[in-house]
Each structure stands twice: as C-alpha cells, then as structure tokens.
Structure 1
Amino acid sequence: MKQKFLLVVAVVLFACLSCSKHYVPAPDQKYPADLANAWMQLHIRLTRSTTGYNSLVSNRSFGYAGITLYESLAPGIPGSRSLLPQIGGTAVTTDKNRNAYYWPASANAAMAAISRSFFESTSDANKASIDSLENAYSVQFQSEADVDEIQNAIEYGRQVATSIFEWSKTDGGHQAYLHITDPNITQLGDGTGHDGIWISTTLPPAAPALPVHPHWGDNRSFIANIAVSTQPGPPLAYSEDPKSPFYEMVNELYTISLSLSHEDSTIARFWGDQPGNLNVPAHATNILTQLIVNKHLDLELAAAAYALHGIALYDASIAAFKTKYTYKLLRPATYIRNVMMHPDWNTVIPTPSHPEYSAAHAVVSAASAAILEKIFGAHCSFTDHTYEATYGARSFNSVADYAREAGRSRLLAGIHYSPSIAAGLVQGRLVGYQVVQLRIR
C-alpha cells in the first residue's frame, strides 16, 4: 500500500522562534509567504513524480529553486544583498526603481520559469500544474497592483530564472536525471567485496546495480571548495578479523538489527523516504515549509530560508559524495552476508547503490538543521507531520534532534554503520556553518 504524506501542513504549536537580527524582514515588505510555500510544495511534487529525480538530483534542484526565489525578490527588499556574487554567480540587475515592480509577481514568474527548465522531462500533467499555479497567482495579482508594475515584475522574474538556469548548466549536474550511472564504471574494486570496496547489494534474480552518480562529488558547489574543506578522515581500516574494530562496528549494526523495537522500525521507515513518497531533500524542505507556515514568516524571510536551505542541501550532497567515492566503502549487507555468513540477512529499507561512507542522510540532515537553527533558534521544538497518516507525527525538542534521529535511522534500517553516521553529522554541520555565513543584508 502506497504511503501517504502531508504536503499541506496542519496547525502545529512550536515552543519558540528565535530569529537572528540578520534575518529580520524589512518593515515595508510584508507580503505573505503563501506564494513561496505553494511553489516549493509543487517542487516537492515534481521531484516525487519526475523520472530520475532521486535525492541527489533533487538536492540540486531545490538549491537552484531557492536561489531563484530569493533573487527574484532581492532588489525589492531594502538593504538586501544578492546571494549570487557570493556563490559564484552574477546578480541580475533591475533598470527601474524598486517601486515600479510588484515583487510577488516577479517571484511567481521566476518560479514558473525555473520549474519548467528543471523539469523539462516531467509529465504533461505536471507541466499543466506549473501553468495552473502561475496562472492562479497572476489572476490574483490583477486586483492587487497596477498592470505595469506586474508586467515589469514578470519580465524581471523571468530574466532571473533564465540567468540562473544558464549558470546551472555549467556545474556538472545538468540533466543528471539522464545520467544516474556511468556505463564506464561498472565496479569500484575487485568485485568481491573482500577488498572492503563497495559492490552491489541487490540479490538474485535481480541484476547487480551500478554505482550511481560516481562523479557527483566533483560538481561545482555553491560555497567554493566546500567538499574539500568539510571532508572527514578515512573510515575504520577494513578487516575481516572478528577481533578487529571493523568487525565490531558491523557486528554492532547486526546485533541491533536482530531486536528492533516497533519504534526503531518506525524511525527507520519514517526517514526512509523511499521511491513513491518524498526523497530526502523533499522531506527536509517539507519540514522547513511547516516551520514557515506555523511561524508566519513573510515572503522575504521565507525566500531567504528556502535559498539558504537549498544551498545547504546541494552542497551537503556534493561533500558527502566526494567522501563516498574517495573511500568506496562497502555496505553492511555485503559484509554481513559474505563475511559474517548470514546470507539471508536483509535491511529494513533497500540499500542505495553507492558507497557507504559517509552517511549522506546524516550529512544532508545536519546541513538542513544548521540552517533551521539559524532561522528558528537552537532550542525551537517542532513536530514533523510529513508521514503522519502512515507512521504518526515525529516531535523534536530542537532541530539538532531532528538531524540526529534522521541520521540514526540509517543504522536502524541496516544501511549505515554508526561511525559513518557520526562523521556525516559533523560533515553536514560544517557545510551548514559555511552556508549561514552568506549575507542577505
């Protein structure tokens, strides 16, 4: 039975909102965040239903979508700074006074344009949804602003989207949904797993899976050289000796797998984000949307939040995959079946087709949490309703707790060793710390 998830957020009470003064919105810019949320919810739907939009490809699209949203509004925000020159891009200038634009119309046009560009291969029904959302806001704007202000804004928003999309083509990930594997890379080691190098964990009669996105770690990041500057040290030295630290690490996971509680299984599946539901960055973005809705952020602050969050997601994925294909560590299922001799052992959720170290979910979740912490405060409690209909809601005392549970879920699911999760949480936090140094004012 296909799992259900919530994209329209119910009312949730949060304990706090502690925004840095760096992110306080300008007093004369109080457009509601509904437009930003609606476009990001559609983006979530598009990543869920467009072929090839796995977590990695989606991390990238959320990054560029968030930047597009913010840049389409930035000139209309007094005292704002463009993010683009800070992340290797070029700001798009305006040729009129900022009061000559109706800025929500700029954001609407920009998000429609960037969505069409990134999801050029999506279904006709999804393309119609992009048109429908854009048109719905266009009709609404007719009663809110002068026709010239709206048209000026539409032209500027489209210009922003075009400029950013053209820039995105040069980062190494363009149309990655068409190039998930490299036919020239069919195995990473000797193909046995006894060298400690990753091999496919799919079981017969299924064909062995190829390693996915082996070059992702070489993509251009938004924060220059972030993959290099956030690299963890190497994993434990591979060994098949039952007295070795490596064997003990795998045995910890195996022992846990034998006595999972109902809560353990729920955590593993809640954060599993398997195909047909949300992927990892879509889930993280849905958490951000819930916080934006329940804290009543305005359009400016919501756009900045989506931009910083998206930048963190993409850069975290690049950093994690740089690590993965540097060390190429095998997955627990390979070791448990072939070395510990439990051939029928399996994981709670399918093992992804890429090396184990570091744990990408931990890296991405920790980077996400660092952005949420900057915006909402380190001790802000919240409840995630994303899969409430299937697994119930998950409540957290802080955004850091969310990252820790998301990371640990991979140990409970049987697909990551605990040291890889710990290293991933540190790595993701380092990514997030660099992203929050970007200035929007």
Structure 2
Amino acid sequence: MKRFKHYIYILSIVFAVSSCSKPAEPIVISPEVFHASVDKVMEIQIHDIFSPPVASRVFVYPNIAAYEILAQKTQEMESLEGKIKELSAIPLADSSKDINLELAAIIAHMELSKSLIFSEEKMEVLQDSLYSDWKEKNEPEFNTAKTYAFEVVDHIKQWMDKDNYNQTRTMPKFTVDTDDPSRWQPTPPSYMDGIEPHWNKIRTFVLDSAAQFKPTKHPEFSLEEGSKFHEELMEVYDVSMEITKKGDDSEEIEIAQFWDCNPFVSVTRGHFMFATKKISPGAHWIGIVKIASRNTNSNVAQTVNAYTKTSIAIADAFISCWDEKYRSNLIRPETLINQHLDPDWLPILQTPPFPEYTSGHSVVSGAASTALTAIFGDNFAFDDDTEVPYGLPVRSFKSFNLAAEEAAVSRLYGGIHYRAAIDEGLIQGRNVGNFVVSNLKMKFE
C-alpha cells in the first residue's frame, strides 16, 4: 500500500511539473532578425578592420546561403544555382521533417558569417541570445532547423573555399614602381602597402571575368599645362582650396565626410575635425538595403532577396574595380600635389592605400544603386541614417542613383580622386550592376 501511495505521489509531481511547463510554440522569424545579424557583422568588421574588398566577401556568402534555403519555399526566389559561378544545388530540406526554413536561413547566415570574421565570440553573443529564446519556445523545431542549416553551411563553405581567396593570402605584396612618375606610391600618414593587389584573382559571381567591364583608359599622364591630366590634377587642388575657404559648414565637407567610409583612418585638417570612419563603402550600401527593406515593410524573403542580390553586385564591383586599379596603377592626387604644387597640402579626406583609377566608391555605388533600383524601383526616396552611429547626420535622397552620384563626387570633394576616376567609375559600376540585374531575377513579381 505504501508503494502504491508513493507511485501516486510521483505521478502527481510529474503531472504538476508538466502542467506548469510552457507548451511549445512555433518559432516565427521576422525581417528584424536578419537586420540584426547583418548589423552584427558590420559591427565586427569595424572591430576587425576588414578592407573594403574583403568586407564585400564577408557579406555575400552568408546572404547567398540564406537565400538558397528560402528559395525552396518562395516562388519569387529562383535558385542561384547555374546563375552564379560554380554554385551547385544545396541539400534540399527533408519535407517529411517540416523544417522551418526561415529559421534555418537565419541560423545559416549567422554561422557562415562567424566563419568569415576574426572575432567569432562577438557573433556568438547574438547567437546565444537568439538560440536560447528559440530553444525555450520550441527546442525540437530549433534543433531540426539548425541541423539542416549546418548542412547548407557546409555545402556553401566548400564552394566558397574554391574562390581563390585563401591562395591570395600567400601571394606577394604589391611592388611599387618608383622609376615611373605616373605610378602609385604609398601615401601619408601611414604609407601603407597597396591592399589586395590580387583581388582580381577572386572568382567572380556573375561577371564572366574580372576584366569584363574594363573602363576607358584614364587621360594620359602629363604634368604639362593644358594637358587633360594636368587639368584634372588642378581641379582636385582648386576644389579642395575653395572648399576649405567655405569653412566647417560647407555642403561639400558634409558630403565628403558622409561618404568617406574608410575603415583605416581618422583625419584632422587644420580646424576641420573629421569623424573616424568605420564602415566600408560596400557596408554603407548594405545599410541602405536595410533602410529600403524597412521602408517597404519587406517580409523575410523579400529582405533576404534584397541583401543577396545587392551584395552580389557589390562583390563583383570590387573585383572589377580592383582589376583596373592594379592594372592602371595610377598615382594619387596627393602625391603629385605635394611634389609639384604645394608640399603642405593635405586632402580633406585621408587617401586610402591603393592606386587611384578607377574610384572604388564610384564603381561600388554604381553597381549597388543599379541593383537596388531594379529591386525597389526608380525614384525611391529615402533618408540615409547609415552614418548616424559614427556621428554624422542623416542625408536624404530622391533615388538610389542620385545617392550613387553624390557618393562618387564626394571623392573629388575629399581630394582623393581625379574626375575621370569618378565618371568612368560610375559607368563601370553601372555596367556591372546592369549585368547582374540582367542575369538574376531581382524584383518580386
């Protein structure tokens, strides 16, 4: 009798505990979770100081992993298999397991992002918080989605590891040609080596090759008065001097600061104090993707589509631009102005450590704005608050293309690019962007 009463007692405890536990609830993923993951990657890039080309690689692969998972359930998202270089079909989700694909997509995004950064523990802070919440809501659903996400991550990693990035890590530094006055030389204050001189060897995503959209050659190098090159050099100097006269409240100063996006430096020029720039130019445009997605109340699939297609355009734009930079190997305005015009002159922005032609901001902005226009439409007005965390005010634009044009001309205002690098860079970037648009289905229909 005592044993029976003890058994009843144990059963009553089990029943009481089970009745108090929360029933499992479906895990719902919102677009904000993807924005949070992308924002965390930006934060870590700032900490780890990724160069702009490398940063573009860190963005694009996790986006593709998330996209391919969601493409299985979303009719408007066609798989990228066969559309981007050497990507084979990912493992398909087992329909009998009723896998939460949106959950699997964000897990894959975070896990692959973690493998591409140095400070993994910083990504784990976000993961641990989300994983704990998802386990509490529905641990079986979470575990099933995570297992599948890891299968996709392994597949994408195998493809990613064949893009020649690892090989370029062991290639020689760029050799500076000091005998040719037209060739790039390291610039003050740090006189860094040219970064990523072998980036044109990275496998492209949609482009046929790094040189597919090789730009028109820059004006022939000449310091003779009246030559096209000399005129462009003098324009940089004259514009800089005129801006300086206007003072701190100059519109040109504000534009130059807003689009600086140089992860390496902080700059002081006389009484002008410039904000330390944190993010890369590609990251700035990824921030604009977030703004546009939120403004249109995009759902998870639409948000991931926008991030993925835009990041592909940005990644190919960097490969295209860097191919030209180290082919033309053109000297920066700062070097020539100090040598021949004014030894005390400083550009408003610090000159970044790589050759001049074409302008990376112009190429990347041209490509990104073209992709975004295809996704969200022309004349898409938005307030760009991407730089607010870095102490800069919001700027408003009536379209992505107008934002790209301002980003491009900011390099002239900053004193770091000639006019040809800006104009031809925009053309080059838009050519890249249009090619990506024509080969990928950009807009949800």
TM-score norm. by structure 2 comes to 0.83
Shift of the 273–239 alpha-carbon distance from structure 1 to 2, 3 Å rule, reads same
The offset of 1:264, in angstroms, is 0.6
Q: Which residue of 2 aligns with 1:113?
A: 111
Deviations 1:98-148 (A, max 9, x none): 8811122201220121022112x2163x14324335415524752xxxx55
The offset of 1:80, in angstroms, is 3.8
Deviations 1:28-70 (A, max 9, x none): xx9631222121111111211124x121110111111211121
Q: Is it true that 1:131 corresponds to 2:120 in the alignment?
A: no
Q: Which residue of 2 aligns with 1:87?
A: 84
Q: Which residue of 2 aligns with 1:35?
A: 33
- Tell me which of the two structures has the higher relative contact order, counting C-alpha pairs closer than 8 angstroms and 6 or more residues apart: 1
Residues in 2 aligned to 1:98 and 1:252: alpha-carbon distance in whole angstroms:
66
Q: Which residue of 2 aligns with 1:168?
A: 160
Runs (4+) of structure 1 exceeding 6 A deviation are: none
Residue 239 (structure 2) aligned to one of 256, 278, 289: 256
Shift of the 263–317 alpha-carbon distance from structure 1 to 2, 3 Å rule, reads same
Q: Is it true that 1:386 corresponds to 2:378 in the alignment?
A: no
Shift of the 439–107 alpha-carbon distance from structure 1 to 2, 3 Å rule, reads same
Q: Is it true that 1:97 corresponds to 2:95 in the alignment?
A: yes
Q: Which residue of 1 aligns with 2:352?
A: 352
Q: Secondary structure at the match of 2:374?
A: helix
Residues in 2 aligned to 1:113 and 1:361: alpha-carbon distance in whole angstroms:
29
Q: Which residue of 2 aligns with 1:362?
A: 362
* Matched-pair contact (CA < 8 Å) for 1:313–1:367: yes
Residues in 2 aligned to 1:140 and 1:350: alpha-carbon distance in whole angstroms:
49
Residues in 2 aligned to 1:36 and 1:265: alpha-carbon distance in whole angstroms:
34
Q: Which residue of 2 aligns with 1:157?
A: 149
The offset of 1:376, in angstroms, is 1.2
Q: Is it true that 1:70 corresponds to 2:50 in the alignment?
A: no
Q: Which residue of 1 aligns with 2:23?
A: none
* Matched-pair contact (CA < 8 Å) for 1:105–1:150: yes
Shift of the 388–109 alpha-carbon distance from structure 1 to 2, 3 Å rule, reads closer
Task: Give ranges in structure 1 of 5+ residues lacking alignment.
Answer: 1-29
The offset of 1:439, in angstroms, is 3.2
TM-score norm. by structure 1 comes to 0.84
Output the amino acid matched with 1:129: V
Q: Aligned runs of 1:199-278 on 2, under 5 Å? A: 199-203=185-189, 206=190, 208-260=191-243, 261=246, 262-275=250-263, 277-278=278-279
Q: Secondary structure at the match of 1:241?
A: coil
Indicate the RMSD between aligned Cα atoms, in angstroms: 2.2
Q: Secondary structure at the match of 1:391?
A: coil
Residues in 2 aligned to 1:131 and 1:175: alpha-carbon distance in whole angstroms:
30
Shift of the 136–387 alpha-carbon distance from structure 1 to 2, 3 Å rule, reads farther
Deviations 1:354-375 (A, max 9, x none): 1100001110011110111011
- Structure 1 residues 431-440 or 53-62, which shifts more? 431-440
* Matched-pair contact (CA < 8 Å) for 1:50–1:123: no
Percent of residue pairs identical: 29
Q: Secondary structure at the match of 2:165?
A: coil
Residues in 1 aligned to 2:39 and 2:167: alpha-carbon distance in whole angstroms:
21
The offset of 1:149, in angstroms, is 4.6
Output the amino acid matched with 2:382: F
Residues in 1 aligned to 2:398 and 2:76: alpha-carbon distance in whole angstroms:
34
Q: Which residue of 2 aligns with 1:56?
A: 53
Structure of higher CA gyration radius: 2
Q: Which residue of 2 aligns with 1:4?
A: none
Deviations 1:149-207 (A, max 9, x none): 5433222211112211221111122497x67xx554331x2x1552x11111125xx5x
Q: Aligned runs of 1:13-24 on 2, under 5 Å? A: none
Q: Secondary structure at the match of 2:352?
A: coil
* Matched-pair contact (CA < 8 Å) for 1:361–1:407: yes
